[in-house]
Amino acid sequence: QVQLVESGGGLVQAGGSLRLSCAASGRTTFSSYAMGWFRQAPGKEREFVAFVNWNGAITYYADSVKGRFTISRDNAKNTVNLQMNRMKPEDTAVYYCAAARTYSGGPRPQYDYWGQGTQVTVSS
């Protein structure tokens, strides 16, 4: 029904920057969705990275990325982005975007749609 496709992953040196994008397609009302970014490193469980509500007025970040990562969205293009600065080797993971059809507050909505992920590798 709704497809999410991440792009922009790759290899970057510690201290560098990378920008991820997630494009939504299919039968979707993107402008009404809350969006999130997650990541999963080898041998570890998926962890929350960042969240943005429908109009960008509310954001949440994991403590590990606060001050370094910025989530944003462009509803006209059905796109959510993650700007990653001052990257660290521990940021290495597969990054996933997700969409929540409803949001009633708090940092952890129920996500209904997930992308397939994009690999991010940070070298030391």
Q: How confident is the model at residue 32 (pLDDT cuts 50, 70, 90)?
A: confident
DSSP-derived pairing of the beta strands 69-74 and 59-61: unpaired
Above 80 in pLDDT, residue 68? yes
Q: Give 107's DSSP letter.
A: S
What does the pLDDT read at residue 93? Answer: 98
Chain centre to alpha carbon of residue 74? 13
Above 90 in pLDDT, residue 26? no
Question: Residues 25-35: what's their mean pLDDT?
Answer: 85
Above 80 in pLDDT, residue 88? yes
Tell me what the pLDDT averaged over the chain comes to: 94
Identify whether the C-beta of residue 52 lies closer than 8 Å to the C-beta of residue 59.
yes
Q: How confident is the model at residue 11 (pLDDT cuts 50, 70, 90)?
A: very high
